[in-house]
């Protein structure tokens, strides 16, 4: 029997119509993620695999975690139990008896059959009366959880909680209505973002780390960019009728929106940039142009890979004012020239051996992108390369899912922007005179298209 892992851990993450005592409603997804984190920390990732699974029929005993090959089923698992499961069972081979579901196999099967029969009967009854499928119901209602979360970030609720307070004290700190605040706090607890005990609300591990002001991993500014996206997405229906956005883009709608936008893209880029650079087969880079460089995270990653190189970061004046701080924080002021300009209308200069277009092409209509690529060609020395890092759709533009949805984001926020296919990029690059056109698939939402000036 093939056994690539010493242990395989299954976590029930089933979601059901009845939002009651099911594993997913008791935090099973958070437990799955915490198991993965703990397994990595314990250096077990190459030996232990964690997989989400559908209903196993023990809904009233959830969250349910199953460990194989032993076939040990744990019930009522909480986040604080994860460390013991990893350290005792997965590391030392000792079953955590206090969590083990102590039923004989036939008893387990019998209990599961009862729940699964009830579920099948409910599903058959719903189908008989033509009830909307669960997938569509959730699509129609998922905005509620998102809106509650975004409002909490906007109110800086997670900072206001401190080490834990009641609803009245939290409302006083936020300047909100006590009754309304308690309703929001309860909803956030139901979403697994808070914990509530004896009327006191405290942050979950994730909200405590990422959503409290001033801490090292504070991501509030980045999340605030989603607030601005929410505003533009509410206009989607009208944008479809008009074919153009009804509101200003983040970069042009004021300093706070610009800062939130750059903060959001910086966090993404800081994580993705080193991986992207490592994935490229480039000869030594000495002079880089980062077109629409934003915070400079990709520029910094390239300069770390090529210690003797220098770079120019070109972007709009509102962005440059924010980017200057990021470049200074990275200690790259001596190696990065920051240049304010509009890459659509301004010349790009010359003498570069690498032109980077990261998250730039989706902002523009096709004809503008063709002009940008022509200018990139002119800016490169012979043998120099252009690197396009962006969402890249398949030939019929229906996958990946994130890219197809992001195309709608361009509809509501840009004049003529879109997400383009690899075939379109290849055609535009060839038209501009580039050769050796290649697509490099990356982990994450974007891919890379590279080409060389002969």
pTM over 0.85: no
How many of the other CB atoms lie within 10 Å of CB of 69? 11
All residues at 6 or more sequence positions from 445 whose CB lies less than 8 Å from its CB, including other chains: 391, 400, 402, 403, 406
Q: What is the pLDDT of residues 82-95, one digit of tens each?
A: 999 999 999 999 99
Q: What are phi and psi of 437, to 5 degrees?
A: -85, 125
pLDDT at 135 (0 to 100): 85
Catalytic residue among 8, 228, 362, 415: 362
- What strands, in cross-sheet order, belong to the sheet with 65-68? 48-53, 7-12, 65-68, 72-74
pLDDT score recorded for residue 122: 82
Predicted pLDDT at 179: 98
356 three-state secondary structure: strand
The total of other beta-carbon atoms located within 10 Å of residue 412's CB is 23
For residue 21, the model assigns a pLDDT of 57
The gap from C-alpha 297 to its chain's centroid, in whole angstroms, comes to 17
Angstrom distance (rounded) from CA 275 to CA 65: 33
pLDDT of residue 256: 64
Are 421 and 428 in contact by the 8 Å Cβ rule? The answer is no
The parts of the chain modelled with pLDDT lower than 70 are 1-2, 16-21, 248-257
DSSP 42: T
**Cβ-contact 379, 445 below 8 angstroms:** no
Q: Cα angle at 59 between 208 and 72, to 5 degrees? A: 85
- Please give the distance of CA 156 from its chain centroid, rounded to a whole number: 21
> Does 8 qualify as catalytic in the annotation?
no
CB 319 within 8 A of CB 302: no
Distance, CA of 36 to CA of 50 (rounded, Å) = 7
The answer to whether residues 185 and 170 touch, using CB atoms and an 8 Å cutoff, is yes
All structural domains of the chain, each given as residue ranges with its CATH number in brackets, are 7-113 (3.40.30.10), 142-218 (1.10.10.10), 272-453 (3.40.50.150)
pLDDT in tens, 290-317: 999 998 999 999 999 999 999 999 999 9
Beta-strand pair 65-68/48-53: unpaired
pLDDT confidence of residue 94: 95
């Amino acid at each position: 029997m093939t056994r690539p892992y010493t242990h395989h851990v299954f976590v029930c993450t089933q979601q059901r119509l009845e939002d009651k005592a099911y594993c997913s409603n008791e935090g099973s997804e958070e437990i799955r993620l915490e198991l993965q984190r703990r397994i990595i920390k314990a250096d077990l990732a190459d030996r232990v695999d964690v997989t989400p699974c559908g209903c196993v029929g023990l809904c009233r005993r959830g969250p349910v975690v199953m460990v194989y090959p032993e076939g040990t089923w744990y019930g009522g698992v909480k986040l604080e139990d994860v460390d013991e499961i990893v350290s005792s069972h997965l590391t030392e081979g000792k079953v955590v008896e206090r969590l083990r579901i102590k039923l004989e196999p036939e008893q387990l099967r019998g209990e599961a059959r009862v729940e699964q029969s009830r579920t099948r009967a409910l599903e058959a009854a719903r189908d008989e009366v033509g009830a909307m499928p669960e997938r569509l119901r959730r699509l129609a209602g998922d905005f509620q959880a998102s809106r509650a979360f975004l409002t909490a970030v906007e109110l800086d609720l997670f900072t206001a909680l401190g080490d834990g307070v009641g609803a009245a004290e939290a409302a006083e700190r936020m300047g909100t209505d006590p009754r309304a605040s308690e309703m929001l706090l309860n909803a956030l607890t139901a979403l697994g973002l808070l914990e509530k005990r004896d009327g006191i609300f405290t942050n979950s591990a994730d909200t405590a780390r990422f959503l409290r002001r001033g801490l090292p991993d504070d991501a509030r500014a980045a999340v605030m960019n989603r607030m601005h996206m929410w505003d533009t997405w509410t206009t989607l229906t009208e944008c479809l009728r008009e074919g153009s956005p009804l509101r200003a883009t983040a970069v042009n709608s004021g300093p706070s929106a610009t800062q939130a936008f750059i903060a959001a893209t910086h966090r993404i880029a800081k994580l993705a940039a080193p991986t992207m650079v490592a994935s490229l087969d480039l000869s030594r880079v000495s002079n880089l142009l980062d077109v629409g460089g934003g915070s400079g995270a990709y520029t910094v990653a390239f300069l770390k890979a090529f210690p003797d190189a220098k770079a120019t970061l070109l972007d709009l004046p509102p962005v440059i004012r924010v980017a200057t701080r990021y470049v200074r924080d990275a200690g790259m002021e001596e190696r990065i020239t920051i240049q304010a300009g509009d890459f659509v209308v301004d010349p790009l200069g010359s003498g570069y051996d690498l032109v980077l277009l990261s998250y730039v092409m989706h902002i523009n209509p096709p004809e503008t992108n063709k002009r940008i690529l022509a200018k990139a060609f002119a800016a490169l020395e012979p043998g120099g390369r252009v690197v396009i890092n962006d969402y890249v759709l398949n030939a019929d533009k229906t996958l990946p899912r994130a890219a197809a949805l992001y195309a709608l984001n361009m509809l509501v926020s840009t004049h003529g922007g879109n997400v383009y296919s690899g075939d379109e990029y290849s055609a535009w690059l060839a038209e501009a005179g580039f050769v050796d056109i290649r697509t490099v698939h990356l982990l994450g939402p974007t891919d890379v298209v590279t080409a060389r000036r002969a």
